[in-house]
Every structure is written in structure tokens, then in C-alpha cells.
Chain A
Amino acid sequence: MAAKKKRSSARKKTGPVRRTRRGKARKRHTKARGRWKVGIGLLVLLALSIGGYTLYLSKTVRVKFEGKRWAVPAQIYARPLDLYAGADVTPAQLKSELQFLGYRKVGKVSGPAQWSQNGGRFRVHTRDFAFSDGTEPGREIVVDTGSSGVSLIRGGRGEIDLLRLEPALVGSIYPAHNEDRVLVQRSDLPDDLVNGLLAVEDRRFFEHAGVDLRGIARALIANIRAGRAVQGGSTLTQQLVKNFILSPERTLWRKFNEALMALIVDSRYGKDEILEAYANEIYLGQEGGRAIHGFGLGARFYFNRPLRELQLHETALLVGLVKGASYFNPRRHPQRAVERRDLVIDRMLSQGFIGKAEADKAKAQKLGVTERGALHGHRVPAFVDLVRRQLRRDYREEDLTSEGLRIFSTLDPWVQQRASEALSGRLQKIEKARRIDGGSLQGSVVVVSAQHGEVQALTGGRDAGFAGFNRALDAVRPIGSLVKPAIYLAALSKPDRYTLSTLIEDKAVDMTLPGGQRWQPKNYDRQLHGEVPLHTALARSLNLATVNLGMDIGLRPVVSMLRALGVSREIDAYPSLLLGALSLSPIEVAQVYQSIAAGGFQSPLRAIRAVVDAGQNQLQRYPLTVTQAADPAAVFLLTRNLVEVTESGTGAALRWMLPKGMQLAGKTGTTNDLRDSWFAGFSADRVAVAWVGRDDNAPTGLTGSQGAMPVWADLMRGIDNMALQLTPPSGIEYHWVDAQGLLADENCEGAVAFPYIAGSQPQQVSDCLQQRGLGGFFNDLFK
């Protein structure tokens, strides 16, 4: 502008001289002015279009930066481990929990997230953790534990009644584009991390304006010298723009956009803001379809620890991964990763960020990345699937994948691990022992807390880490004899007609079904057993006695009982229902058996305790609820009968599979042609269901006691269980009865004390008592 003005004023002054050569001059002048005009016009146009384009990019940047920058997936936590004197936490379990939490085992505990062990004595410095109902402060504690559990917990101020460790992070619900991240703030970024990034990626980050001309020149020279591309001149800002805003293709136009936007970003935002954005956006790895973004998740993914707890050599590795998370993948290419890490450390040394001794010490360390087998991450996809389905009832998908919700689940990592080991280990053994094609058997295990219906573990298949078909929820299979307890409970709920000692007939069944089909079911052993006591019929899973019993009480009461116990699926009231022509998924079976295990008090199965938003506000609690589903006295009789199953009935082999004195109740289930093998049972505090079968529904050759039961036993042996106490509820009386179901006493041969709902005990007196007659009576009297 100034130049133009000067020229025009000069023109005025020289007016008279120019007039003499007017014609020529005017011609030339017009021509020049035309060129100028075009030139200026073009320039203005260019300026306007670049300006306009810049404004457009500027808006894009603003939208990206100031709108919600990152979708923060909901994080799912396991249950926190409660520690108290009397807790059934063995040293092995405590150790495993500390490993899930990423606590570091050290010789001497000196800070948070560290632990040491000396025999059964653990010294642990816990981390702070904000629970939905208050913060548990981090502190140093001493836990004395042994094979029978925790005996003492001490803290700085003496004995501690109760404390909970922070819960392990077990998964996240990330959006469809598969980006997972744990958000970090600028203040969370350790100095080592920032220094490392400066050292290897962008030395002049704090000085340049988004594009580093000196850096580019230096890279150019280095590249020309080397004759190939050895250095990049991209600043952190440019890298951020590239990943944050632009598509990944490599074109000149994109490079131009990148530079322009980097300049815009730098002029608009502070260095710290840019650094924070970079730290959350950077791509650091891949696990299946899940992309690991940001240093927060990177630290979890590779070291199972929060970023601030990483040591120099670990931070250096994360910094190194920026260059190529796949090429330097420390789990697949440890040698490359070590070299890259050491390079980062060397650069930090040469640029004066760290000292020689520090660098040497860091370089001497092992990589220290966790195995992929660690529970954290996506080793529990089936459980996460369940959580997600339960959440979908209450939350929109986008809230789950982007709002940074924290989900406190009921998962017990220890039980979950035992469950998946039991399933995969036992199926392998069965296949080997029975010469079944390796890998053809499939299965599922569900474990819930008996009295509260909390889902503690759930495996969707024999490979627990595989997020595929979730058999626990979606394999809907005929349940076979697992249906029988509902029939017997329906019978025992009518104490005027049925007791445990009532004789029922195991005789041939031949009936015509509504469709005109003839139905002639058989016992598994193809025998007829005649009159048998009710408890024996269930313990031995006699089909014919059960059908006769069921037809006697009627199908309606059986259907109602199944409904009361928690079956929500449609139930066809056909006689074949009595032998398990009802298809349920393992988790639905778990609900039915939970109702029984809780003494007739059903708690709807839950996988979530609470949901908390990013600002620590509790959005929802999923409380414990109970509904009485059946008469506790009748359920007690049934439970007593299901204990008999495991002691002398179809589940008697459990005696060899479980420790002595571990009283459990359970039921085997087998379906036609041995297609499905089931076992459902419970201790005082846990209900477990195991299913074994094939995905193509072909016969497995396994009965319930040959397939599912050993899986179940392996699981129950591996976890702590409270033995069933069989404490009779009010309204139950014990009476001595002989084999014919007649009233006897303890001196009669073969007499057994059975529980009865008061008043339902047999009235007829046995021969034994009659023979002793009056004499016996007097003997008793004077005893």
C-alpha cells in the first residue's frame, strides 16, 4: 500500500514533463496499469482464497479442538477386593490381585502401588481410589494371610477392620471405530515423557510456530547426506494435526494442509494444550480390532500401570513407539523395541535431559511389558458383553462410548480366571482321553453369588480371550434333567401330598402327545425301578418316575414353578417339558439355580453395581433386590436332595473330584443323543453352571457327569466356597423313617432322619417299631 501511494504522489509532481510525451506514455502506462491490475487482482484473489481456505481450516480446527475432543470409552472395573481378618483371600489370590492391579513387587516398599512379600506376610502400599461411595485413601498396610485366609491387617495406626483395594480395570466400551483410550491431562504427563518427545520428535517444540523450518532444513540436509529419508521434520503439532484431523493418505495437498493447520493450531492454542492433545491422540498399538490411543492407555496396555508410575525406561519405550507402533511392537519385536528405546534414552542424554548414570541404568532394564495373558484389557470379552447389554437398557450407545463413564461391575477376576482355566483345561483333557477331535468341544461357565445374584465370572467359550459367539448368553440349549429340580420343588411345595420319602412309581410311560405323536421315554439305564422314594428318584435322575410325578402334579404347576424361579422365556407345557424339552442359555440356568441356592429368594442377576460419570457423580446404582420365589421350607428339602445328588446320585463322582467335607448341591443334565452336557450346582455362597456341547449341535458322547461336571468340579476346587450348612428354616422337623417311608427311630435298621415340613411326616409306623411294641416303648421310656 505504502509503495503505491508514493508512486502516485510522484506522478502528480512530474505532471508537466510527462505531458510532452503523452501519447506514447499513456499507451505504455495503460498497458502497465493493466498488468498491475491483473497482478493485484490475482494476488487479492489468491490472498482471499488462501484466507478463505485458512478460515475454513481454522474453523475445522476449532470444532475439533473445542468440541468434544475425544470419545472417552466407558471403563469397566472388576469388583474391589475387600480385605479384613477372616477374608478368604489366600496368598496366591492376593498376589494375583496385586498383579491385576499392576502393583510392582519390590524388596522394600517405598511408595504407592508397590508390594513386598515375606512368606504369608504382605506389605502393600495401595493407591488412592475414588469409589462411587467415597475415596479409599492410599496407605501402607501389612496383611497376614495363609491357606485359611487373612488373619490380620495392620496399618499405620494399628489393626484395620476393613479396607478395599482399588478395583482392576478389566475393559472398556469403545465406539465402532475401535479407538480406545484412557484420558490424561497435561499435569499427568511425566517430565521424562515430555523430554523424550522433545528429544526424538521435535526439539524446538516450545520455540517454533507449529512448523519448524530449522527442523525441516536439518532433516533435509540429513536426508540428502544419507541419500535417503532418515529424519522427519514433522513437529509434534503437525503429527497431531495429521492424526487428529486429517485422513491418513500421503499426498502433497495433505502435507500442505497439515502445515497450514499446524500453524493455525499453534497460533490459537498454548503449547501445553497441544501437548495434552498429542498425548491423548497418539497411536501406540493394536490388539485385534482395538486401537490403542494415547499415552494413558499405552501405559496400561504395555505395563498395566498408570502413566505417572512409569519409570524412565518404560516411558522411553512409549516415546519410541510413536515412530511406529507396529514395527517396534515390544511384544512381537522385542529386539527392535529395545533398540528404539535405547535410542530415545541416548537422545535424552545427548540433549541434557538426563544424566549418564540415569541413562545407563535405564538401558540396563528389561523392556518390562506385561504378557498379553494379563487379565487387563480384553481377556474377558464375554463378561464385558454382558455388562454392555445390561447398560444398553439404561444408556445410549454414544454415552457409553464417549462420556468417560466408570462402570463398577461384579466381576471377580480370580474366579473368572479359574473358570476359564477349568473350561479350557478340562475340555482339552476330555478330548484327549476320549479321542474326540481336538477343539471340537465347546462350553461355557457362569458363576454367580448365591445370595445376591452378582455375576462373578462368565466365559463365552473355551478360549476366554476370544470375543466371538457368547455361549453364556446366546447358546440356548435344551436343559435336560436340569429341569427336574423345578418339578420336585413343585411337588415338595405340596407337603400334604409329597415329602422326600414319599414313594413314587418308576414305571413305563406311554402317551399320545397333543400332536398325535406317541411318547415313550426311557430311563437312562433302560430299566424300570418300580416304587422308589421321591428323593432317590431325583438323586438318580430317574426319567420315568419324574414323568409320573410331573403328570401327577400337573404341567401347570411345573410351568409356574419354572417361571417363579426366573425363566422368562416362553415355556411349552408339553409332557416332554418334564424331561427338559426347554431350551435355556447357561446364564438363564444360573438364574434358576440362584433362586434355589438362595433358599427360594430370587435376586435378578446383575453384572453392574454402579455407574459413575466423568465428574464422579453416581448416575445409577443397581441395588440388591430379592423376591421370594418359593417356600423356603420346600426349597430346603430340595437342597437337601440336591446334596444327595452330589454324594450318592448322578453326581457322586464329585466325591473324588472335590476336597473332603466340601458339601455342595447340584444336578447333572444330559440331552438326547448326548448333545448337551450340563451341570448346575451351588455352595452356600456361589452358584455355578457349566455347559459342554458342540456348536454344530452334534452329539458329544458325554453325559452331564462326564463333560460339564468335571469342568464344574475343577472350577469349584479352584475357588473358595462356603460349605452348605443345611440349617433348617423354621417349619422343618427331622423324623426317622425306614426304607419303606414309614415312621421309625434311630434304632431301626436302615432308618434315616429326613427333614419334613412340620406335620407332613409319615403317620404310619414301621414294622420295626411295631415289633418292639410296648416293650420297646417302655425301654425307650426308661432309657
Chain B
Amino acid sequence: MVQIFLPRVLLAVALATVLAACGGMSRHDRPATVEERTGAPPSVQQDAGSDVQIAAYSPPALPAQPAYARPQPKRAVSSLMKRAQEQRNSGDLDGATASLERALRISPDDAVLWHELAVVRMSQRQHQLVEQMAAKSNALANRQDVSLRSANWRLIARARRAQGDVPGARDAQHRADSLH
């Protein structure tokens, strides 16, 4: 190897002198200045007043349907629920969780989705999480949706039993039964 390189190396040495000043990449950059972004949001009619502002308040007698509500993305959510179901059936519980979480990002206050997530968590033996998610589902569930609320209490009962909380499980089971 040495012999092969030698002549070329010597030549390279000779020419290096000439080329020392040529070519190459320059590396000295000054840090770029940071420009300030100036947003121009629409102007506001009036600035805030003092911290104490007293006005008569009459809340709506019943919660009104606000003009701001957006259409329910039913198709997207049901397609994700279907996918989660398939993933669960094929044993891909992580995948099912991910699909349901994605559905919840689309429809955050969907009591059924929270319930489904609790069901998957039950298969994963995440018992504390099951209790919490089923409770969350119950908090969001329509009062008339007796079967969902009952199903949530049954999940809670199972999760408590699995954690050795027998009285708690009995109480939850009782609540589940009383809803029928």
C-alpha cells in the first residue's frame, strides 16, 4: 500500500503549497439577525376596563344552544371506532388506544369514546385508568343514556374488584344495577 501511495503522496505534498490558498468552503458566518414578527390581528373596539366591573347579570335560565357549535364529525369518529374495534379484535391494543385517542381529539366530549377507551384499558389491565375513564364517560353521558352509564359502572366494578377493592366494587355494581 505504501508503495502505491508514495509517489502520489509526494506529488500531493508538492502541489499542496500551490493550492493552499485555493478553493474550499468558508465557515465564518455571523449569526443571522432575528427579525421580529409583527402580527396584525383585527383591531379591538375597546380595551379592558378596570378589574372591578359591575354589571347586572342574568344568566340564561337553561343552557342555550350556542351559535358556535360545529357540526358533529360523525363519519370520521365512527370510522375510527370501527378501526379501533378491528385493532382490538386482532390483539393490537396499543393501536386501538391510539385510534380512540385520535377520535377523542376530534370529538373530545363523546361519552361513548371515553367508554370504549376504558374497555380497551380493561383488556390491558390498567385498572386505575379504567375507573377514571369510565367516570369521565359518566360525567359526559347524557342522563337518559342509562345503558351507557350502567356499562360504565360495571366496568368500574370490575376494575375495583381486580384491584381488591371489594366494597367499592359492590357499590359500583349496585349503581350499575339500579340504573336498569
Contact = CB atoms under 8 A, between A and B. Distances in A.
Interface of A: 47, 50-51, 54, 82, 84-88, 132-134, 148-149, 161-162, 209, 211, 213, 216, 219-220, 223, 229, 231-234, 239, 242-243, 248, 250-252, 255-256, 258-260, 263-264, 267, 282-283, 285-289, 322-327, 329, 331-332, 372-373, 420-422, 424-426, 428, 433, 449-452, 454, 463-466, 523-525, 536, 539-541, 598-601, 618, 621, 623-628, 632, 640, 643-644, 647-653, 656-657, 659-663, 668, 670, 684-685, 703-706, 709-710, 713-714, 717-718, 720-730, 734, 746, 752-754
Contact of B72 (A86, A263, A647, A649): A86
B80 interface: yes
A652 B61 contact: no
B28 A326 contact: yes
B173 interface: no
B180 interface: no
Given A451-B104, A714-B41, A84 B76 contact: yes
B52 A723 contact: no
B22 A231 contact: yes
A705 B49 contact: yes
B137 to A, nearest CB: 10
A600 B23 CA distance: 66
Contacts of A640: 59
Contacts of A632: 139
B104 A624 contact: yes
B35 A373 contact: yes
Given A234-B23, A648-B57, A653-B49, A722 B68 contact: yes
Contact of B69 (A329, A422, A466, A722): A722
B51 to A, nearest CB: 4
A89 to B, nearest CB: 11
B9 interface: yes
B22 A232 contact: yes
Contacts of B135: 601, 628
Contacts of A601: 132, 135-136, 139
A159 B5 CA distance: 67
A219 B68 contact: no
Nearest to A430: B47
A723 B70 CA distance: 9
8 contacts: A47-B2, A85-B71, A263-B5, A323-B25, A626-B133, A647-B59, A710-B48, A725-B65
Interface in B53-89: 53-59, 61-63, 65-76, 78-80
A523 B149 CA distance: 45
Contact of B46 (A213, A267, A627, A653): A653
Given A625-B132, A662-B68, A727 B63 contact: yes
A289, A451, A454: most-surrounded residue (chain B CB, <10 A): A451
Given A84-B106, A220-B15, A734-B62, 12 more contacts: A161-B76, A242-B24, A283-B27, A420-B39, A465-B34, A601-B139, A644-B59, A647-B57, A659-B68, A705-B48, A727-B63, A753-B59
B2 A51 contact: yes
Given A162-B76, A656-B45, A752-B59, A288 B136 contact: no
A737 B23 CA distance: 87
Contact of B52 (A251, A325, A421, A525): A525
Contact of A718 (B41, B66, B106): B41
A85 B73 contact: yes
B171 interface: no
A449 B101 CA distance: 13
Contact of A663 (B28, B42, B68): B68
Question: Across chains A and B, which 5 residue pairs bring their CB atoms closest together, nearest first?
Answer: A232-B23, A421-B39, A259-B12, A86-B73, A84-B76
Nearest to A541: B51
A729 B9 CA distance: 84
B150 interface: no
Interface of B: 1-3, 5-6, 8-9, 11-13, 15-32, 34-42, 44-59, 61-63, 65-76, 78-80, 94-95, 97-99, 101-102, 104-106, 108-109, 117, 129, 132-133, 135-136, 138-140, 143, 149
B47, B55, B94, B117: most-surrounded residue (chain A CB, <10 A): B47
A452 B105 contact: yes
Given A286-B29, A325-B26, A373-B35, A450 B108 contact: yes
Interface SS majority for chain B: loop
Contact of B108 (A323, A433, A449, A728): A449
Contacts of B12: 211, 255-256, 259-260, 263
Contacts of B24: 232, 234, 239, 242, 250
Nearest to A251: B20
Given A326-B29, A449-B108, A233 B23 contact: yes
A746 B61 contact: yes
A654 B91 CA distance: 50
A30 B34 CA distance: 78
B32 to A, nearest CB: 6
A162 B79 contact: yes
B56 A231 contact: no
A717 B39 CA distance: 14
B38 A428 contact: yes
Nearest to A49: B2
A721 B70 CA distance: 9
Nearest to A601: B136
Contacts of B57: 536, 539, 644, 647-649
Contact of B25 (A229, A283, A287, A685): A283
A263 B9 contact: yes
Contacts of A451: 104, 108-109
A627 B34 CA distance: 42
A523 B50 CA distance: 12
Contacts of A251: 20
A723 to B, nearest CB: 4
Nearest to A210: B8
B145 to A, nearest CB: 11
B27 A248 contact: yes
Contacts of B54: 540, 648
A54 B1 contact: yes
Given A86-B73, A234-B23, A464 B37 contact: yes
A730 B135 CA distance: 12
B10 to A, nearest CB: 10
B143 to A, nearest CB: 5
Given A54-B5, A133-B98, A625-B132, A463 B34 contact: yes
Contacts of B117: 624
A621 B44 contact: no
A754 B70 CA distance: 27
Contacts of B16: 252, 255-256, 258-259
B53 A650 contact: yes
